[in-house]
Structure 1
């Protein structure tokens, strides 16, 4: 089926403290007389002349109203799901000292507003409006000075096009005061193999506090996060083996309701979702989504969701970590310490009388223990000790020369290049490893 999709470009001039003229210049206004003739009102030096289509004229005073007076005006727009338009709010008078305008959507699951930008050259503030789902909403532009408001009604209709990739949020509609909760991030309608994500979440910083993020499974690794800006966190993840499909979980993000926040609601939204497709290396932008979350009542609970998630991730790493002296394996001592840290965290989780502070401290301690354990993995090192571009008997001779030395030896800075397994000792394991590489 062929789709014809119109690109809608709209600028709303919201003259917040003055009259709004829609499509008709202020000097010429159409009105109906008592005989239902169409009159045109024209201002002239001698007065205001009303002229009908037959050329008949009559003079009226400037303030004379003909027909039913106007009492209100509604600005409305129909958008296609997935499209974006720009709305522009202009404050009157032009020389107002405070031109700050705040935009909001009455239904952010249908339409989101973002990237509000003031232009000093025009004195106007623009905002991006994104149609997320079918439905209706009202966009409000409110001035900081005087609390003047202009509204814009938007209806979002289906595009009737095959759905593209979408970043979808899943979270409970209501959470308890002071509690931690998980926001799941999934990718829907993926027809290509996605190997990496660059996703930005925006949230109400006065209501929620960002805690941490982990991959939805062991093959999805959170590479880095940027939480330097209040109310925003950028998450970059890599997918080992790639993912695709109708609905695939990728990230589990933990948020917490700030202390003292009661009986209100806040929004968490995906404001950017870039997907890396391999092997081509192309970048695809996914459609965005948002969720409104209410904080229900004054009941204070100790929430262990973040601790449970941290223990699950740590246990998976512990169980899959191989002990040995080869690259990619872990020393037994490092695994023993990590296992003890997991047991301590588990004890806090199982303690019915644990306070929220104890739970939060256990999450932080287990995270530190996991980072230390990951750093203990035996690294892949080169057996080309003589740097001649190949592994040969010369390299074996270098290792044999340093045999028996350890980190306490005076020349360890030179000898440690023969420490193939990183155990701070040159022994038969290192000799055997180099010998095996000569045979490859």
Structure 2
């Protein structure tokens, strides 16, 4: 036939195209059967029509020449006669006279043939048909079960294995039929100067020459109670040059596909696949070791099914991918993703002058090491002493600049590259459990015991600790306070005291990692299922950091070392509000903050930063849902406590959550990252976080990836390349979805390799790879590589905008879900007698708006109008008139002009208020009590309002007492029930509890102003929640008679049988009580139950 040419074909293209077809199909009448049209045949007709059409990104092309010269052969196409054959099969299937069995068989054959005739030459980076399986792995050898101990490979593993033992036992689980014996390892770890572990060897049968592309596969069974305790495997096949190291070591499994029982415990299974080193081998060495910095622990695990596979020598190798477009020829990544177009900044690792790929594609940069404490603070201060007065080894330097080294040039070069402000820096990191100077690593708490014992009262050892010295908490705090102040102010100020100068100028930073990786690797997997709000016992408690809290570690949150670390960073880079609070509270600051000359007698005005760097907590494995939740809990509690701190500066304590993102294709699910990002986005929505960053992003190709895995950035085959691009596309689809919440995405590499053999967006020749194309246009890449859909198992569908993200006990999260259509922004704090401004605007109002009538209410005893309301842009909106009576009410009539009519969502008016001289201290609310808009047809729409709270500063209890009286009055006048105007049962008790808690503070003669203010904040929130809970409509009162009764059942019965596919569904879908898109007997039964319970 004409189309008989060499092209890449795929028999599965039927499924490929069907999964991605997004248009409506009308298959036409199916062939008749004895019982009429069949569902199976109609489905086949729909599939055939989908094949003919292709998808929205890649419609199927039809060539009417004999060589395909009239189509783009890089994209899917067929010859006209091939399409004609499918059309004939469709016509035969639709013929009412055709028996259904013949119609089905004929159409199935035609679909299979036509699928194989769809062609594409693979030259377009956005489209490829399935290139086939390549060389399928085949087993070549395996170790026998004759295991003996041998000399450890790693000299940190004790020669006696710390008492660890091994034996071969029968497979112990219930599914033992046909299972081989397993290797049982009884593991011990002495917890300090050595890793602990055990080293075993067994002969390979047969001996082999391990070839390139070979893998080692094995299963590990472990008790659920020991998740995370068995850490890393090292594997050697005979010779030192055949060493393989497994870095994916976490044993955490929240959704196990295998569960067993042994020794009275629940056991889980993890499968490992690792690239094998090449060469001649007759022996197999297996070493298990933990990590220093872990508490002493023992346990048992089982190892089974160890096998070595190599690519089938008789198979056909997949062709290598050829990346053709140089970085200088493709669109700059930063032209696709930047703040100006509503996205986020993109960046890469690397400091110094910005040139080449970095200059063209990225705008924010980071160095992986040069701002860590071992680099910036190598020498300790001579004032540092142990609790018994002895100096610390390495802490002998005269306090001040002599302690420090600064990588000034690295970041000054970024600042000075391009146009002013074109390139930005991200700083990594002030505090970490690793890469601290030796003098600092010695510090341990004076009172806490070593090793996790089930509570937060312990310290763990950071990496590299060999000797320990007890230091009191004030000294430990002074160390970190000085470190933070000096390092940050060296760059952010021009003060010579910090090694800066006027001539050099300020070196700005967009963001700064304050703390890195302090959530423990695995403990979260044990604590979160027990208590979803836990976090304190799931930290590493790095010894020199937790010494700042010591025996206060489980007490007042403001004494927690993480709270203090971030508080220091706020002081080091103060905004104007912090500077004012610092001066006002200077007398109450701890003495260690005053010992080393970081301010001018309490004033830090000279160090005010107009745009301070965003202060970030950074961690890895956030795609692990329990770890993501642990960090969420930590940020939520710390940032909530900061709101009532005397030094609160209007910024969240922890401003950004940094997600490292050293991910692996398919092993790290985009949907798991989505869960984490939804958690942190919800904190942004609540005002408890500023944003999210992906701080160290790259991707590994595990051995189980399509086309086989890879651990180095060499040439990939086409299937490996496609899988890499698909995962990058999924992730950038996710980033785009959360763009309003994301500050930046940083690739952990520029070209070639990322971290530990991962891949970034450009290959080692600086050509754009599949990851680049997936990042630039995620939807197009995924739709053009749909042969991988089954491998990625519905991940793309989970990233669509309408996908509701289940956060468990926190509810369902949807980006762009219901939000207030009106906003009040501006001052949240004012001194009695002073004026302040708010800006009123609309947001998320649908359709056009030509006029609006808005009523704003406020407490006239506390506030007064200071000036008439004025438009912020009179070309788009005008204040027609306003009325400021009765007292405490401001009613405004306004009209929209021009573009402001079709897009009314903008800031519209400035409102000026004044806090009265005698206004009591505390919160007062300014509320948009009523908003009515009208469109071009004069149709009026009533919208919900919003509330803006302002703190009036007067140091007394009058504000709290007034709020208590107001809340008590609201409580006493309210009636609980089910009717309109009543309040839900139990709501009064909840409010009364909040009133009682506030009264306890008000009646406490020792209560501080901060405690009074915190009580007012909590009571105000409870009062607002109570007031907003009033019943305004009975959901199932369909006839509007104020009750649920037989009349409502009758109205529901009229819609019986309707489904979501029926015309008019929008008018009746409110009767679908159980949300199953149909109105049936279940809905009637639910309504009947409501009548009985009314």
What TM-score do the two structures reach when normalised by structure 1?
A: 0.31
The structure with the largest strand share of the pair is 1
The structure with the largest helix share of the pair is 2
What TM-score do the two structures reach when normalised by structure 2?
A: 0.15
Q: Pick 1 or 2: higher relative contact order, CA cutoff 8 A, min separation 6.
A: 1
